[in-house]
Amino acid sequence: MQFFAALICLYLCCGWASAEPRAFITNQLDNSVAVINTETQALLTTIKVTGKPAGVAINKASQQVYISTPEAGGFAVLDSRKLTVLNTVKVGGASLGIATDRIGSQVFVADWYENSVTVFDTKTFTKQAVLTVGKSPSGLTVSPDNRWLYVANRMDDSISQIDLKNLSLRNTTKVGAHPFGIVIDSQGKYLYTANVESNDVTVLDAVNLKRITSIKVGARPYALSLAQADNLLFVTNQDDSTVSVIDTASQKQLSQIAVGDKPEGISTHPNDRLVYVANWMDNNVSVIDAKTRQVIQTIKTGEGSRAFGEFISP
Protein backbone atom coordinates (compact mmCIF):
# COMPACT_ATOMS: atom_id res chain seq x y z
CA MET A 1 0.00 0.00 0.00
CA GLN A 2 2.82 2.38 0.85
CA PHE A 3 4.35 1.77 -2.60
CA PHE A 4 1.09 2.66 -4.39
CA ALA A 5 0.58 5.68 -2.15
CA ALA A 6 4.04 6.89 -3.10
CA LEU A 7 3.23 6.42 -6.78
CA ILE A 8 0.05 8.46 -6.43
CA CYS A 9 1.93 11.19 -4.61
CA LEU A 10 4.52 11.36 -7.38
CA TYR A 11 1.79 11.43 -9.98
CA LEU A 12 0.03 14.37 -8.33
CA CYS A 13 3.00 16.31 -7.09
CA CYS A 14 5.38 15.86 -9.99
CA GLY A 15 2.85 16.07 -12.76
CA TRP A 16 3.24 12.69 -14.41
CA ALA A 17 -0.11 13.26 -16.10
CA SER A 18 1.41 16.09 -18.15
CA ALA A 19 5.07 15.10 -18.09
CA GLU A 20 5.31 14.47 -21.83
CA PRO A 21 7.03 17.23 -23.81
CA ARG A 22 4.71 19.64 -25.55
CA ALA A 23 5.19 21.69 -28.68
CA PHE A 24 3.94 25.28 -28.56
CA ILE A 25 3.15 26.53 -32.06
CA THR A 26 2.35 30.20 -32.64
CA ASN A 27 -0.45 30.72 -35.14
CA GLN A 28 0.23 34.29 -36.10
CA LEU A 29 -2.86 34.86 -38.24
CA ASP A 30 -5.15 33.22 -35.68
CA ASN A 31 -3.74 35.12 -32.67
CA SER A 32 -3.31 31.82 -30.90
CA VAL A 33 -0.85 29.16 -29.74
CA ALA A 34 -1.52 25.50 -30.58
CA VAL A 35 -0.26 22.97 -28.02
CA ILE A 36 0.74 19.52 -29.28
CA ASN A 37 1.18 16.43 -27.12
CA THR A 38 4.41 15.05 -28.59
CA GLU A 39 3.75 11.58 -27.18
CA THR A 40 0.46 11.09 -29.01
CA GLN A 41 1.14 13.66 -31.78
CA ALA A 42 -2.32 15.09 -31.11
CA LEU A 43 -3.45 18.68 -30.65
CA LEU A 44 -4.17 19.21 -26.94
CA THR A 45 -5.65 22.69 -27.04
CA THR A 46 -5.36 26.15 -28.52
CA ILE A 47 -4.61 29.18 -26.33
CA LYS A 48 -5.72 32.68 -27.33
CA VAL A 49 -2.74 35.07 -27.50
CA THR A 50 -3.32 38.48 -29.09
CA GLY A 51 -0.71 40.63 -30.82
CA LYS A 52 0.20 38.35 -33.75
CA PRO A 53 2.26 35.79 -31.77
CA ALA A 54 5.51 34.77 -33.43
CA GLY A 55 8.45 33.72 -31.26
CA VAL A 56 8.60 30.99 -28.62
CA ALA A 57 10.96 30.35 -25.70
CA ILE A 58 10.69 27.65 -23.03
CA ASN A 59 11.80 28.28 -19.46
CA LYS A 60 12.91 24.83 -18.29
CA ALA A 61 13.26 25.94 -14.68
CA SER A 62 9.84 27.53 -14.13
CA GLN A 63 7.77 25.58 -16.68
CA GLN A 64 6.75 28.84 -18.27
CA VAL A 65 6.55 29.57 -21.99
CA TYR A 66 7.21 33.01 -23.45
CA ILE A 67 5.47 34.08 -26.66
CA SER A 68 6.59 37.22 -28.48
CA THR A 69 3.76 39.41 -29.76
CA PRO A 70 5.11 41.82 -32.41
CA GLU A 71 1.86 43.71 -32.95
CA ALA A 72 1.47 44.24 -29.20
CA GLY A 73 5.14 45.14 -28.74
CA GLY A 74 5.78 42.63 -25.99
CA PHE A 75 5.38 39.01 -24.92
CA ALA A 76 2.89 36.74 -23.18
CA VAL A 77 3.76 34.38 -20.33
CA LEU A 78 2.08 30.96 -20.43
CA ASP A 79 1.89 28.19 -17.85
CA SER A 80 3.14 25.10 -19.71
CA ARG A 81 1.19 22.70 -17.48
CA LYS A 82 -2.11 24.51 -16.96
CA LEU A 83 -1.97 25.92 -20.52
CA THR A 84 -3.16 29.36 -19.50
CA VAL A 85 -1.90 32.93 -19.99
CA LEU A 86 -0.29 34.15 -16.77
CA ASN A 87 0.91 37.59 -17.77
CA THR A 88 1.63 40.00 -20.61
CA VAL A 89 4.75 42.16 -20.66
CA LYS A 90 5.44 45.30 -22.69
CA VAL A 91 8.78 45.59 -24.49
CA GLY A 92 8.72 48.37 -27.09
CA GLY A 93 8.57 48.40 -30.88
CA ALA A 94 8.03 44.99 -32.46
CA SER A 95 9.20 42.03 -30.39
CA LEU A 96 10.17 39.00 -32.46
CA GLY A 97 12.98 36.67 -31.40
CA ILE A 98 12.81 35.48 -27.80
CA ALA A 99 15.01 33.21 -25.65
CA THR A 100 15.83 32.42 -22.03
CA ASP A 101 19.14 31.92 -20.34
CA ARG A 102 20.13 28.36 -19.39
CA ILE A 103 19.08 28.69 -15.76
CA GLY A 104 15.74 30.33 -16.43
CA SER A 105 16.42 33.58 -14.60
CA GLN A 106 16.32 35.92 -17.60
CA VAL A 107 14.34 36.25 -20.80
CA PHE A 108 15.73 38.11 -23.82
CA VAL A 109 13.51 39.79 -26.40
CA ALA A 110 14.70 41.10 -29.78
CA ASP A 111 13.02 44.36 -30.82
CA TRP A 112 12.91 44.51 -34.63
CA TYR A 113 12.27 48.26 -34.87
CA GLU A 114 14.39 49.48 -31.98
CA ASN A 115 17.52 47.47 -33.00
CA SER A 116 17.89 46.23 -29.45
CA VAL A 117 17.55 43.27 -27.12
CA THR A 118 15.70 43.83 -23.85
CA VAL A 119 16.54 41.72 -20.79
CA PHE A 120 13.85 40.86 -18.23
CA ASP A 121 13.95 39.10 -14.87
CA THR A 122 11.69 36.02 -15.05
CA LYS A 123 10.40 36.28 -11.48
CA THR A 124 9.06 39.83 -11.55
CA PHE A 125 9.38 40.60 -15.28
CA THR A 126 11.12 43.85 -14.49
CA LYS A 127 13.36 45.27 -17.18
CA GLN A 128 17.05 44.74 -16.38
CA ALA A 129 18.77 46.16 -19.45
CA VAL A 130 18.33 47.28 -23.05
CA LEU A 131 21.24 46.27 -25.30
CA THR A 132 21.87 47.95 -28.65
CA VAL A 133 22.68 45.44 -31.41
CA GLY A 134 22.45 45.52 -35.23
CA LYS A 135 19.52 46.38 -37.48
CA SER A 136 16.38 44.25 -37.23
CA PRO A 137 17.47 41.68 -34.61
CA SER A 138 15.63 38.38 -34.98
CA GLY A 139 16.98 34.98 -33.89
CA LEU A 140 18.43 34.57 -30.39
CA THR A 141 20.27 31.72 -28.69
CA VAL A 142 22.35 31.27 -25.53
CA SER A 143 25.54 29.24 -25.18
CA PRO A 144 25.33 26.01 -23.12
CA ASP A 145 27.60 27.47 -20.42
CA ASN A 146 25.26 30.48 -20.10
CA ARG A 147 28.11 32.88 -20.95
CA TRP A 148 27.05 34.28 -24.33
CA LEU A 149 23.88 35.49 -25.99
CA TYR A 150 23.94 35.47 -29.80
CA VAL A 151 21.73 37.74 -31.90
CA ALA A 152 21.03 37.52 -35.64
CA ASN A 153 20.84 41.06 -37.08
CA ARG A 154 18.88 40.53 -40.27
CA MET A 155 19.31 43.87 -42.04
CA ASP A 156 22.97 44.18 -41.01
CA ASP A 157 23.95 40.70 -42.27
CA SER A 158 25.65 40.08 -38.94
CA ILE A 159 25.68 38.18 -35.66
CA SER A 160 26.22 39.94 -32.33
CA GLN A 161 27.76 38.21 -29.32
CA ILE A 162 26.74 39.55 -25.90
CA ASP A 163 28.61 38.81 -22.68
CA LEU A 164 25.96 37.76 -20.15
CA LYS A 165 28.24 38.41 -17.17
CA ASN A 166 28.14 42.16 -17.68
CA LEU A 167 25.45 42.48 -20.37
CA SER A 168 27.78 44.11 -22.87
CA LEU A 169 28.47 43.63 -26.58
CA ARG A 170 31.61 41.57 -27.11
CA ASN A 171 31.77 40.98 -30.86
CA THR A 172 29.94 41.38 -34.16
CA THR A 173 30.65 39.29 -37.25
CA LYS A 174 29.36 39.47 -40.81
CA VAL A 175 27.63 36.35 -42.13
CA GLY A 176 25.42 35.67 -45.17
CA ALA A 177 22.63 37.92 -46.44
CA HIS A 178 19.79 38.51 -43.96
CA PRO A 179 20.45 35.99 -41.16
CA PHE A 180 17.29 35.06 -39.29
CA GLY A 181 17.30 31.81 -37.32
CA ILE A 182 20.37 30.71 -35.34
CA VAL A 183 21.33 27.65 -33.30
CA ILE A 184 24.35 26.58 -31.23
CA ASP A 185 25.56 23.02 -30.67
CA SER A 186 25.41 21.32 -27.27
CA GLN A 187 29.14 21.78 -26.67
CA GLY A 188 29.11 25.50 -27.41
CA LYS A 189 31.62 25.08 -30.24
CA TYR A 190 29.69 25.92 -33.39
CA LEU A 191 27.04 28.48 -34.20
CA TYR A 192 24.87 28.15 -37.31
CA THR A 193 22.86 30.90 -39.02
CA ALA A 194 20.13 30.59 -41.66
CA ASN A 195 20.68 33.35 -44.22
CA VAL A 196 17.39 34.12 -45.98
CA GLU A 197 18.65 36.08 -48.97
CA SER A 198 21.90 34.23 -49.77
CA ASN A 199 20.26 30.77 -49.50
CA ASP A 200 22.95 29.37 -47.26
CA VAL A 201 23.99 28.56 -43.70
CA THR A 202 27.01 30.24 -42.13
CA VAL A 203 29.09 28.16 -39.70
CA LEU A 204 30.90 30.13 -36.99
CA ASP A 205 33.31 29.35 -34.18
CA ALA A 206 30.94 30.12 -31.31
CA VAL A 207 33.65 31.30 -28.89
CA ASN A 208 35.42 33.92 -30.98
CA LEU A 209 32.65 34.33 -33.58
CA LYS A 210 35.02 33.71 -36.49
CA ARG A 211 33.48 32.50 -39.73
CA ILE A 212 34.40 28.92 -40.71
CA THR A 213 32.42 28.24 -43.88
CA SER A 214 29.05 28.58 -45.61
CA ILE A 215 26.82 25.74 -46.84
CA LYS A 216 24.31 26.11 -49.67
CA VAL A 217 20.76 25.00 -48.87
CA GLY A 218 17.32 25.66 -50.39
CA ALA A 219 15.44 28.86 -51.18
CA ARG A 220 15.03 31.37 -48.34
CA PRO A 221 16.24 29.37 -45.34
CA TYR A 222 14.50 30.54 -42.21
CA ALA A 223 15.41 28.57 -39.07
CA LEU A 224 17.55 25.63 -37.92
CA SER A 225 17.69 22.82 -35.37
CA LEU A 226 20.27 20.18 -34.48
CA ALA A 227 19.51 16.49 -33.87
CA GLN A 228 21.17 13.08 -33.55
CA ALA A 229 23.87 14.22 -31.10
CA ASP A 230 24.55 17.37 -33.17
CA ASN A 231 25.50 15.24 -36.17
CA LEU A 232 22.63 16.53 -38.30
CA LEU A 233 21.46 20.09 -38.86
CA PHE A 234 17.91 20.63 -40.16
CA VAL A 235 17.11 23.88 -42.00
CA THR A 236 13.68 25.09 -43.15
CA ASN A 237 13.60 26.42 -46.73
CA GLN A 238 10.54 28.66 -47.04
CA ASP A 239 10.27 28.95 -50.81
CA ASP A 240 11.12 25.30 -51.53
CA SER A 241 8.72 23.83 -48.95
CA THR A 242 11.59 21.61 -47.85
CA VAL A 243 13.94 20.99 -44.96
CA SER A 244 17.64 20.65 -45.77
CA VAL A 245 19.62 18.04 -43.85
CA ILE A 246 23.29 18.89 -43.29
CA ASP A 247 26.01 16.57 -42.05
CA THR A 248 27.80 18.76 -39.50
CA ALA A 249 31.05 16.78 -39.71
CA SER A 250 31.50 17.10 -43.48
CA GLN A 251 29.54 20.39 -43.59
CA LYS A 252 27.65 19.18 -46.65
CA GLN A 253 23.96 18.99 -47.47
CA LEU A 254 22.85 15.36 -47.48
CA SER A 255 19.26 15.71 -48.68
CA GLN A 256 16.10 17.79 -48.72
CA ILE A 257 12.85 16.59 -47.15
CA ALA A 258 9.52 17.76 -48.56
CA VAL A 259 7.30 19.22 -45.83
CA GLY A 260 4.35 21.63 -45.85
CA ASP A 261 4.07 24.92 -47.72
CA LYS A 262 6.27 27.74 -46.40
CA PRO A 263 8.06 25.98 -43.51
CA GLU A 264 9.31 28.38 -40.87
CA GLY A 265 9.95 27.40 -37.25
CA ILE A 266 11.76 24.16 -36.43
CA SER A 267 12.64 22.48 -33.14
CA THR A 268 13.95 19.11 -31.96
CA HIS A 269 12.22 16.90 -29.39
CA PRO A 270 14.23 16.12 -26.21
CA ASN A 271 14.53 12.52 -27.49
CA ASP A 272 16.89 13.97 -30.15
CA ARG A 273 15.12 12.06 -32.90
CA LEU A 274 11.86 13.81 -33.77
CA VAL A 275 12.05 17.20 -35.48
CA TYR A 276 8.97 19.43 -35.66
CA VAL A 277 8.42 21.93 -38.49
CA ALA A 278 5.76 24.67 -38.52
CA ASN A 279 4.32 25.23 -42.01
CA TRP A 280 2.95 28.75 -42.44
CA MET A 281 0.77 28.30 -45.54
CA ASP A 282 -0.53 24.81 -44.73
CA ASN A 283 -1.44 25.68 -41.13
CA ASN A 284 0.15 22.53 -39.79
CA VAL A 285 3.25 20.90 -38.35
CA SER A 286 5.35 18.21 -40.04
CA VAL A 287 7.07 15.67 -37.77
CA ILE A 288 10.36 14.32 -39.16
CA ASP A 289 12.17 11.20 -37.97
CA ALA A 290 15.77 12.44 -37.92
CA LYS A 291 17.18 8.94 -38.21
CA THR A 292 15.27 7.94 -41.35
CA ARG A 293 14.90 11.54 -42.59
CA GLN A 294 11.23 10.96 -43.38
CA VAL A 295 8.06 12.84 -42.47
CA ILE A 296 6.11 10.50 -40.21
CA GLN A 297 3.20 12.70 -39.13
CA THR A 298 1.34 15.89 -40.04
CA ILE A 299 -0.63 17.74 -37.34
CA LYS A 300 -3.18 20.49 -37.98
CA THR A 301 -2.51 23.58 -35.88
CA GLY A 302 -3.84 27.01 -36.91
CA GLU A 303 -3.63 29.78 -39.47
CA GLY A 304 -0.13 31.09 -40.09
CA SER A 305 1.84 28.59 -38.00
CA ARG A 306 5.24 30.14 -37.36
CA ALA A 307 6.82 28.98 -34.08
CA PHE A 308 10.06 30.96 -34.32
CA GLY A 309 12.45 29.69 -31.64
CA GLU A 310 12.88 26.60 -29.47
CA PHE A 311 9.27 25.62 -28.96
CA ILE A 312 9.28 22.15 -27.35
CA SER A 313 9.17 21.82 -23.57
CA PRO A 314 11.52 19.37 -21.83
Instruction: Summarize pLDDT for 200-256 with one digit per residue, the tens.
Output: 999 999 999 999 999 999 999 999 999 999 999 999 999 999 999 999 999 999 999
| Residue ranges of domains in the chain, CATH in brackets | 21-309 (2.130.10.10)
Q: Give tens-digit pLDDT for 73-88.
A: 999 999 999 999 999 9
Q: pTM of the full predicted structure?
A: 0.93
3-state secondary structure the chain: CHHHHHHHHHHHHHCHHHCCCEEEEEECCCCEEEEEECCCCEEEEEEECCCCCCEEEEECCCCEEEEEEHHHCEEEEEECCCCEEEEEEECCCCEEEEEECCCCCEEEEEECCCCEEEEEECCCCCEEEEEECCCCEEEEEECCCCCEEEEEEHHHCEEEEEECCCCEEEEEEECCCCEEEEEECCCCCEEEEEECCCCEEEEEECCCCCEEEEEECCCCEEEEEEECCCCEEEEEEHHHCEEEEEECCCCEEEEEEECCCCEEEEEECCCCCEEEEEECCCCEEEEEECCCCEEEEEEECCCCECCEECCECC
pLDDT of 16 over the 70 cut: no
pLDDT of 19 over the 90 cut: no
Structure confidence at residue 173 as a pLDDT band (50, 70, 90): very high
